[in-house]
Amino acid sequence: MIQRVQSVYLFIVFLLAAVMFFLPATETGVEIRWFFCGFTGIAALGIIFLYKKRKFQMAASLLLGLLFLLFFAIHFPILQFEFSVSCFFLFIPLIAAGFAFAACHAVKKDEKLVRSLDRLR
């Protein structure tokens, strides 16, 4: 179900991962960053198509948000606080984690709605 709000949130996470992939950064470990951005981008697209398994979709989007927070925590001490592209690169994982957690919340609301409708039957 592409028209659900969590699908939009997860697509935004995919776009942010793609921006992180192509954004130049001056840090060490560029290959690790490329792997992380590729993995999380593909994972966000894959989570969109798990709409029939809402509990798994909720857990996967929560894990995706935690991965972005972990990436931020690892790279926070490495980057220097300069007003440059690196400074912008630092806040993209936080924004992506926020959208991943919003997708988790939307899936939870969807699950609650389906359970309430099942009770009415």
pLDDT at 87: 63
Q: What is the pLDDT along the chain (121 residues), one digit of tens a residue?
A: 556 788 889 899 999 988 888 776 655 566 777 788 888 888 999 988 888 888 888 899 999 999 988 888 877 666 555 555 556 677 888 899 999 999 989 888 888 888 887 776 6
pLDDT at 53: 85
Q: Which residue, 88, 89, 47, 52, is CA-closest to 64?
A: 47
pLDDT tens for residues 11-41? Answer: 999 999 888 887 766 555 667 777 888 888 8
pLDDT at 21: 81
* All structural domains of the chain with their residue ranges: 5-120
**Rounded CA separation 71/17 (Å):** 12
Q: Which residues contact 6 (CB under 8 A, 6 or more apart)?
A: 57, 61, 102, 103, 104, 106, 107, 110
